[in-house]
Copies of this chain bind each other. A is one copy, B any other.
């Protein structure tokens, strides 16, 4: 991404506007929407807050799925803005049940929206977005708001076809860039709700952004994260060169391989509905997961994430999105196997790698 380090093109020039416009059009193809995909100089949490303040008024009620650290955040944001919440509490590692969402919608017919993660990163779990959308799309005043920060560009999630109302993403996951750029798209239903929403907003006023970012204007309300937008332009071209179907298939294959690998090592998956973006597995009893991840990173030079809150010290998370390909998974398995050995755990050396390879073979043609 050397283009991001070039002396900065000024962002109020036709040169930048041309890149902006091209980037936005490509981004809308990844969102799979005919509406605007807006770019915000912010991390994903800012766009999550934007979804709340642009759809709700103080005193409104929303339903949110709390099945991990990110789901929990919807509740915190709503509370800050005087929005009432109906929490659907889900055991960590489980997907929300569609029935629970249906019941909440029936009990709260005036709910402004259902707020959920497509992929809850803290537990490496995917929620059934498409099925939830089948419930909300017939409700004219209730939006389905999807945090897709680790799902967009990872799994096929056609916004318009499924009837998703707000989809949020960020630069640093599937888009392989440094963090600092958030993306957000709204359905026509969601845009209509913004007109009634009275939560105060300025920097994250999406109607103002839409007016500026629309085709022909091709600018942003506030100074854009220009280097990241220029980087995104390159990344999107790479993604279309690979082909979106191929890209989704690659992610799915890597996820399957990672699951096969950790299972072959006798490790239990954290999730009952495992994500395509990352795989979480419990470290064996008696091993401190914090020390395990630290050893992998500092001694072996291979980066994994650990667990948060009550999963802290208990799990290891293997990412497989964006740049990741077959040998990132074999490397991850190899490192985990050797680290298990170093931590005194009996391990059948090569078993995790072999199980992953059995899956990864599908990635390569006949010689």
Contacts and interface: CB of A to CB of B under 8 A. Distances in A.
Interface of A: 1-5, 8, 10-13, 41-46, 49, 76-77, 80-82, 170, 172, 177-181, 199-205, 221-228, 297, 303, 305
B228 A180 contact: yes
A61 to B, nearest CB: 17
A300 to B, nearest CB: 14
Which of A2, A41, A80, A170 has most chain B Cβ within 10 Å?
A41
Contact of A179 (B170, B221, B225): B225
B13 A81 contact: no
A224 B82 contact: no
A179 B76 contact: no
A176 B203 CA distance: 23
Nearest to A5: B5
Nearest to A3: B5
A350 to B, nearest CB: 28
B2 A201 contact: no
A43 B222 contact: yes
B202 A200 contact: no
Given A178-B4, A180-B181, A76 B202 contact: yes
16 contacts: A1-B5, A2-B5, A8-B177, A8-B178, A13-B303, A41-B179, A42-B42, A42-B46, A46-B203, A76-B202, A81-B200, A82-B200, A179-B224, A179-B226, A179-B227, A180-B227
Contacts of A8: 172, 177-178
Contacts of A4: 4-5, 178, 227
Contacts of A203: 42, 45-46, 49, 204
